[in-house]
A and B are shown apart, each in its own frame.
Chain A
Amino acid sequence: MPGLLSSPVCLTVVWFLSWSLRPSCAQIWTNEVSDVQFGRLGSNVTLTCGKSNIRTPAVWHLNRSSALPWHKVRSDGALVLLQVNHSAQGNYSCSDSQGLLLHSINLRLGHPPGLLSISCQVPNHAHVRCSWVEPVKTFLPAKYNASFRGTGQEWTPCVVNVARKHCDVDHPAFWSSMHTLRITETNGLGSETTFIQFQLHKLLKPDPPQSVSVMGIEGYPMRLNVSWDYPSSWPRLPAFPLIFQIRYQPLGSAYWSEINSEGTTVIICDALAGHLHQVQVRARDEVNPETQWSEWSPVLPVWPWSVSTTPDPEEEDFFPFSTKPETSTAESHNVVPEDGGNLGLVILLVLFSVVILTTVFSFIFAVWVRQKRRNHVTKQELTSMVKMKSMPI
Chain B
Amino acid sequence: MKLLLDSSSSLLFSLLLAQLPVFTSGSPVPQRRTTEMDKLSNQTKNLLKLTQELLKDHAFEADVEPHRFRSLPEMSNRSANDLNNLELKPTLSQLHSDLKLYEHHFEWLNRVSKKHHHPAVPKLVEMIREIKSLISLLHRQMKFVKVETPRLTPVAPSLPPHLPYHFDVLQSSHELLQHFKLFCDWAYRAFISLKPKVTATAVQ
Q: Which residues of A contact B (CB under 8 A)?
A: 124-126, 150-153, 171-178, 197, 199, 201, 235, 237-241, 287-290, 345, 348, 351-352, 355, 358-359, 362-363, 365-366, 369-370, 373
Are B77 and A173 in contact, CB atoms less than 8 angstroms apart?
yes
Are B65 and A178 in contact, CB atoms less than 8 angstroms apart?
yes
The interface residues of chain B lying within 8 Å CB-to-CB of A124 are: 80
Query: How many B residues touch A, CB cutoff 8 Å?
Result: 43
User: Shortest beta-carbon distance, B175 to chain A, in Å?
Assistant: 8
Q: 3 nearest interchain CB pairs? A: A125-B80, A176-B76, A239-B189
Are B11 and A171 in contact, CB atoms less than 8 angstroms apart?
no
The interface residues of chain B lying within 8 Å CB-to-CB of A235 are: 80, 84
Bound: A173/B18 CA distance, A: 60
Are A171 and B185 in contact, CB atoms less than 8 angstroms apart?
no
The interface residues of chain A lying within 8 Å CB-to-CB of B1 are: 369, 373
- Secondary structure of the A side of the interface? loop
Are A174 and B78 in contact, CB atoms less than 8 angstroms apart?
yes
Q: Report which of B16, B77, B196 forms a contact with A359, defined as CB distance below 8 A.
A: B16
Are A177 and B52 in contact, CB atoms less than 8 angstroms apart?
no
Q: Report which of A153, A178, A288, A366 forms a contact with B8, defined as CB distance below 8 A.
A: A366
Are B65 and A151 in contact, CB atoms less than 8 angstroms apart?
yes
Interchain Cβ contacts under 8 Å between A and B, 11 examples: A173-B76, A175-B76, A177-B65, A177-B175, A201-B182, A237-B83, A238-B193, A239-B80, A287-B48, A352-B26, A365-B8
User: What 0/1 pattern do residues 1 to 41 of B give for CB contact below 8 A with A?
Assistant: 10011001101100110110010001010000000000000
Bound: A235/B85 CA distance, A: 14
User: Shortest beta-carbon distance, B178 to chain A, in Å?
Assistant: 5
Task: Tell me which residues from 98 to 119 in chain B have a Cβ below 8 Å from any Cβ of chain A.
Answer: none
Task: Tell me which residues from 114 to 144 in chain B have a Cβ below 8 Å from any Cβ of chain A.
Answer: none
The interface residues of chain A lying within 8 Å CB-to-CB of B8 are: 362, 365-366, 369
Are B22 and A175 in contact, CB atoms less than 8 angstroms apart?
no
Bound: A126/B81 CA distance, A: 7
The interface residues of chain A lying within 8 Å CB-to-CB of B190 are: 239
With A173-B78, A241-B192 already in contact, the answer to whether A178 and B48 are too (CB < 8 A) is: no
Is B75 close to A, CB under 8 A? yes
User: What 0/1 pattern do residues 51 to 68 of B give for CB contact below 8 A with A?
Assistant: 010000000000101100
Q: Which residue of A lies closest to B41 (CB)?
A: A287
With A175-B185, A201-B185, A237-B83 already in contact, the answer to whether A151 and B193 are too (CB < 8 A) is: no
Are B77 and A153 in contact, CB atoms less than 8 angstroms apart?
yes
Bound: A365/B11 CA distance, A: 11
Are B76 and A153 in contact, CB atoms less than 8 angstroms apart?
yes
Are A237 and B79 in contact, CB atoms less than 8 angstroms apart?
no
User: Shortest beta-carbon distance, B71 to chain A, in Å?
Assistant: 13
Q: Which residue of B lies closest to A366 (CB)?
A: B8
Are A362 and B15 in contact, CB atoms less than 8 angstroms apart?
yes
Are A126 and B48 in contact, CB atoms less than 8 angstroms apart?
no
Are B63 and A290 in contact, CB atoms less than 8 angstroms apart?
no
The interface residues of chain B lying within 8 Å CB-to-CB of A358 are: 15
Are A287 and B185 in contact, CB atoms less than 8 angstroms apart?
yes
With A239-B84, A359-B12 already in contact, the answer to whether A287 and B5 are too (CB < 8 A) is: no
